[in-house]
Amino acid sequence: MKRLALAKLVRQVLKKDDLVVCGLGATEAAFKEAGPVSPTYFASDPMGLWPSIALGLALAQPRRRVTLLAGDGDLLMNLQVLATIASTPAKNLRIVVFHNGAYSSTGGQRLAGERLSFAAVANGVGFGWAFESTGEEETRKRLEELLARPGPALLDVHLEDEPCPAAPPGPWSQVEERTLFMKALQNLTHEAG
């Protein structure tokens, strides 16, 4: 399965009041192309930090579903954070791993530990639900399960290794991006009354 196909499947299972934290690089490019349906923070920079940010957001917004879209290289950079997440009451936090075994936006270099199972690590540190999936049919079913049950939960989706040239910086600075995200979240809260 290609990463855009996964991004589109994720988009289908999200609701407009979900919060999404999207990792950088190829994952960001794919989810932007699929088109977000709800407040989405496109991390842009740096690698390795977004699971902890998604955790903080999930703790601050316990009534909303928070989904982290994580590239495999991104998640691998700070893998111990899964143990922290597992030890928290963040039942509203789910993680989808875009797993192609390579640093796609820096030239496709293979990851150290490219055979790693993120699902096995998540299960090992105490996630209540973590699976691997391959192919669209299986992944669609697993994504529905992921969103239907309490977190923290993780779906490790195996993808084809496609190139993804690094995108140029967008029109907004990081402080503008996070301000827009915070405003979108405030508007969502206001609409909900």
Crossing angle of helices 3-13 and 136-148, rounded to 10°: 40
Contacts of residue 189, Cβ cutoff 8 Å, sequence gap at least 6: none
Interacting residue ranges for other proteins, rule: CB under 8 A: 21, 41, 45-46, 48-61, 78, 80-81, 83-84, 87-88, 173-175, 177-178, 181-182, 185-186
d(CA 18, CA 130): 20
d(CA 80, CA 68): 16
Q: Decide whether 1 or 57 has the Cβ nearer to other proteins.
A: 57
* Shortest Å distance, C-beta 48 to other proteins: 8
Q: Decide whether 161 or 172 has the Cβ nearer to other proteins.
A: 172
Q: Decide whether 89 or 165 has the Cβ nearer to other proteins.
A: 89
Residues across the chain = 193
* Shortest Å distance, C-beta 92 to other proteins: 11
* Shortest Å distance, C-beta 134 to other proteins: 30
Nearest-CA neighbor of 152 among 62, 44, 72?
62
- Residue 42 has which token pair? 């496109």
* Shortest Å distance, C-beta 125 to other proteins: 10
Q: Decide whether 54 or 153 has the Cβ nearer to other proteins.
A: 54
